[in-house]
Structure 1
Amino acid sequence: MRIDKYLWSTRYFKTRNLASTICKKGHVKINGQIAKPGKEVLPLDKIVVRKNQIDYQLTVLDIPTSRVSAKLVDIYRKDTTPKEAFEHNELLQYSKDYYRKKGTGRPTKKDRREIDDYLDEPLDKTD
């Protein structure tokens, strides 16, 4: 089975076109090598998929005949993604929310003046 079809049928991507696009961008590796969308997947292959800044690590257990339900996905793959990858993603989310809340838009005139004042202040250097 093709890698794009496998990723779609095991519900890593919503559409097969999206899975194919991700493969073309080089975000999918099979056994350490970058995979094109037409690369064949065999049982016991190790797959690394970069999605949402997380490198998901999978082991192929079996090849499905078609798209499977969410309950049956674990029959066809084993997810070996370390917990550190998810924790790192949570830290990234916190760092993004630190300065500005989502949806507040560009800095206001007052914000810009405060930034300029902060950047123009001389550093305290005692001689």
Structure 2
Amino acid sequence: MSNAEATRCRIDKWLWAVRLFKTRALAIEACKAGHVKCDGRNLKPAHEIRAGEVYEIQRGSQALTFKVLGPLQQRVSATVAKEFAEDLTPPAPAQSDAASVLAMPPRRTKGAGRPTKRERRLLDSFAEPDF
């Protein structure tokens, strides 16, 4: 492998090598679906990465942001992979206790059975108040 080949790498291969996707096929699929972007542009799987570029990756409900520190041709251990990618993803905002309590479904005592139509309507009105 020449020096020029060592400094170039496809985006799908890099995403797989730094362990952002479990398989290369999943990385290719994400690129084709438009879940991998650089400067607001969707990237094709064959896009060649450059050191210093910042990529936005949508993986499920997660929005990740990574900066390329160097090309990587083969999959390596997680500790070594950290040397080739810098995570710029902002930390998720902490949920307040009140928000987490409201997000929880109402509890019923064990053995109480299924709620009646009237009880269900009361529970629904509590969960979704009319404004």
Q: TM-score, normalised by structure 2?
A: 0.68
Write the distance in 1 (CA, Å) between the matches of 2:102 and 2:23: 29
Taking the TM superposition and a 5 Å limit, the aligned residue runs for 1:93-112 are 94=100, 98-99=104-105, 110=115, 112=117
Q: CA deviation at 1:65?
A: 2.6
DSSP-derived class of the 2:50 partner: coil
**Aligned in 2, Cα 1:114/1:55: closer, same or farther, shift over 3 Å?**
same
Q: CA deviation at 1:115?
A: 2.5
Q: CA deviation at 1:111?
A: 5.6
Gaps of 5+ in 1: 102-107, 121-127
**Aligned in 2, Cα 1:96/1:24: closer, same or farther, shift over 3 Å?**
farther
2:10 corresponds in structure 1 to 2
> How many residues get paired?
110
Q: TM-score, normalised by structure 1?
A: 0.70
2:21 corresponds in structure 1 to 13
- Segments of 4+ in structure 1 off by > 2 A? 94-97, 108-120
What's the Cα RMSD here? 2.9
* Kept in 1: contact 2:67–2:86 (CA 8 A): yes
DSSP-derived class of the 1:37 partner: coil
**Aligned in 2, Cα 1:52/1:114: closer, same or farther, shift over 3 Å?**
same
Picking from 87, 92, 97, the partner of 2:93 is 87
Picking from 45, 57, 60, the partner of 1:37 is 45
- Greater helix content: 1
Aligned-residue sequence identity (percent) comes to 31
Write the distance in 2 (CA, Å) between the matches of 1:10 and 1:44: 15
Relative contact order higher in (CA < 8 Å, ≥ 6 apart): 2
CA distances 1:78-123 after superposition (whole Å, capped 9, x unpaired): 111111xx336x68xx58961279xxxxxx8526552345669xxx
Output the amino acid matched with 1:7: L
CA distances 1:11-61 after superposition (whole Å, capped 9, x unpaired): 001101111111111111023211121211111111011123221111101
